[in-house]
Amino acid sequence: MKPYTEDPVQELRELTEALEDWLRFQRRLGWPGTPAARETPPPAQPPAASQVLTLKEIRAELGECKRCKLSQGRRQIVFGDGSARAALMFIGEGPGEEEDLQGLPFVGAAGGLLNNLLSKLGLRREEVYIANVVKCRPPGNRNPEADETEQCLPFLRKQIEAIKPQVIVTLGRVATEALLETQTPITQLRGKWQKYGKIKVMPTFHPSYLLRFPRERQKTWEDMQQVMEYLAAHEEI
């Protein structure tokens, strides 16, 4: 037995030796030792919200688009026209010859009919927003093909996100099928409320169809009456 000493250094050395003896004894008994210190994980971060771009930023992202073959024959990209804060948005299928020349949607004969409809509803073109599923004119004004729609549709969706309209009116079969991802005929969908996300959608006939079949204009007028009643009931004060 070691003699008692009041030397603190000696006492500390003896305590250390005693602890080492105790640890060696515990290891012989199978004790694995003290657990390694664990690092505290960083707090979970909420998922980043998807960024909503402005119309100007979306147009810049689109650039001088060559994502599909429609770029080969176009004169101008027809991005869209109207108020960036519109409560009402119209979506057609694609630019025609006049739209391709002027770079604006619905400025030909079909556009004249749409403008006339807006006027009768008490709306100015500057109050709404007008866009198309594809932004370049298909050759011979044919319907857009699937690969062309696939390239353009993401930009249309971003336009909708930027504008946040209360109501979207899809003009004709092509726009309705593309936006709603449906194969239901327009004759069965028109006049009946649909949904795109949380946004109300009213499918109706395309103005070019109404030029060929004037008797159908009453149906589109009735569709638009539903739209105007909804907007009036949900007008933001």
The sheet carrying 194-196 orders its strands as 81-82, 129-132, 88-92, 167-171, 199-204, 194-196
Within the chain, which residues score under 70 in pLDDT? 1-9, 11-12, 15, 19, 22-23, 25-50, 236-237
Output the pLDDT for position 14.
72
What does the alpha-carbon distance between residue 168 and residue 17 come to, in Å, rounded to a whole number? Answer: 83
User: What domains, with CATH codes, occur in the chain?
Assistant: 55-233 (3.40.470.10)
Which helix or strand (DSSP H or E) is residue 45 part of?
Answer: none
**pTM exceeding 0.85:** no
Cβ neighbours of 154 (radius 10 Å)? 13
What distance in Å separates the CA atoms of residue 53 and residue 84, rounded to the nearest whole number?
A: 12
- State pLDDT tens for residues 58-111: 999 999 999 999 999 999 999 999 999 999 999 999 999 999 999 999 999 999
Q: Provide the pLDDT for residue 43.
A: 38
User: What's the pLDDT score for residue 227?
Assistant: 98
